[in-house]
Amino acid sequence: MIYLGNGALESAQLQNLIHDLALLHLLGVRLILVHATRSAIEAELIRQRIDSHLHRGVRVTDQTVMAVVRDVVAAQRLTLESKLSMGLPDSPMRGARLRLISGNFVTARPLGVVEGIDFQFTGAVRRLDAAAIIAALDEQAIVLLSPLGFSPTGEVFNLSADELASAAAIAIGADKLIVMDSHPGLVDAEGNLVRQCTLESAKALVAIDEQQDAHRHAACLACEQGVARAHLISYECNGALIEELFTHDGIGTLISAEEFERARVATVDDIGGVLDLVRPLEASGVLVRRSRELLEQEIGNFRVLERDDRIIACAALYPFAEAGMAEIACIATHPDYRRSGRGEHLLTLLTTEAKRLGIEQLFVLTTQTSHWFMEQGFREVDRAALPDARQQLYNLQRNSKVFIRAVDN
């Protein structure tokens, strides 16, 4: 489900976006498009000098305004149909033969009288013909939903495109709702782009403007009702759609009902992912080489950070309970995520686990990362400070330095 926000069809990036949609379709991605009309309607009302009123951000649609709404919707549908019909031999659309289907998929009801205001032909989504939409998708068509709804009495209603996008995504059980507008995504209190967040975190963020607030509400509503993920990205960025879908970190904001990145105890299924992290560090001498068989035996000592089903960091805790000590070992982070605090995060988690086990001191053996451990509060000591069992395993040839820190430090 892809929502094309206000201004998308007028953007200089529209043709590139059409190429991206064609590519996704050819890759087998089933597409439903919803296009926003509000800014275009506003511009046309101003051009025709027609008065229009908003109440709590919702347009009151009388017969005069409704005529403009119909014209704008029709014009936008023709734009999309023409763009998706292109197929010149020397263009990225060559041989695409895209089929766009639209129709009376949406049943609407009048919004009615709210706080004494009669909204007339402004409506709300009553239901969607999900079976018909899915049937069209099964026939390899792209489905286009315009923000108009039809009543059993034959009336036509002006709908909120945001409401329509979330309602449609929920109705068909979409895997994703992708909202494209002029903003790159949600931002935090300092104005920094939030790359991913949970549903509750997204609700707590402050939207840049009223339009983005409506987009965020639609995205959160979809996630609350079973859509696994919602994405907020900018149509002004060439290739944003492809980058958001096919790179691990994307380009905008990802909202998910569940944690996108989580820490957990490693299992045997993670052995391949852990080996991918540690093998380069073993080859460079940063870490001691472990065989796959040894890792299988020790995997329960490991904690991993999983990001979108991919292991991006790991660390291990080896308790020496009789000495009240535990070893922190094999801290490794994927190169794409180094210097991002993942190692510190795992160290904190393992410290908490050690405290739960009654451990009083943590120690590490390292050859090349001593400064990092010093920054985490460790101090260098003689290897005689190690538990007897660990001293017996000390590799004199490797000549690792020993660092120690109290659990409560």
Tens digits of residue pLDDT in 162-205: 999 999 999 999 999 999 999 999 998 888 899 888 888 888 88
Q: Write down the CATH number for the domain with range 261-406.
A: 3.40.630.30
pLDDT bin (cut points 50, 70, 90) of residue 90 is: low
What's residue 89's pLDDT? 60
Instruction: Locate 149 and state its tokens.
Output: 């709804």
Mean pLDDT calculated for residue range 305-313? 87
Judge whether residue 80 has pLDDT over 90.
Answer: yes
Q: What pLDDT is stored for residue 88 in this prediction?
A: 56
| CA 248 to chain CA mean position, Å | 9
Structure confidence at residue 287 (pLDDT)? 85
When the pLDDT of each residue in the chain is averaged and rounded to a whole number, the result is: 91
One-letter amino acid identity for 254? Answer: L
Residue that has been written with the tokens 């840049």 in this structure: 208
Residues of the chain within CATH 3.40.1160.10 domain(s) are: 2-256
Structural fold of domain 2-256: Carbamate kinase (3.40.1160)
Closest listed residue to residue 369, CA positions, set 393, 394, 339, 408? 339
The kind and range of the H/E element at 20 are helix 14-26
What percent of the chain lies above the pLDDT cut of 70?
97
The residue-averaged pLDDT of 206-227 equals 89
The dihedral of CA 222, 226, 229, 235: what is its sign?
negative
8 A C-beta contact, residue 316 and residue 277: no
- Which residues make up the CATH 3.40.630.30 domain(s) of the chain? 261-406
- Residues 258-283 have a mean pLDDT of 88
Of the candidates 233, 140, 219, which has an alpha carbon nearest to the alpha carbon of residue 174? 219
Q: What's the CA gap between 239 and 211, in Å, rounded?
A: 23
pLDDT band with cut points at 50, 70 and 90 for residue 102: very high
For the cut 90, the answer to whether the pLDDT of residue 337 exceeds it is no
pLDDT given at position 87:
66
The predicted pLDDT at position 308 comes to 76
Q: What 3-state class would DSSP assign to 73?
A: helix
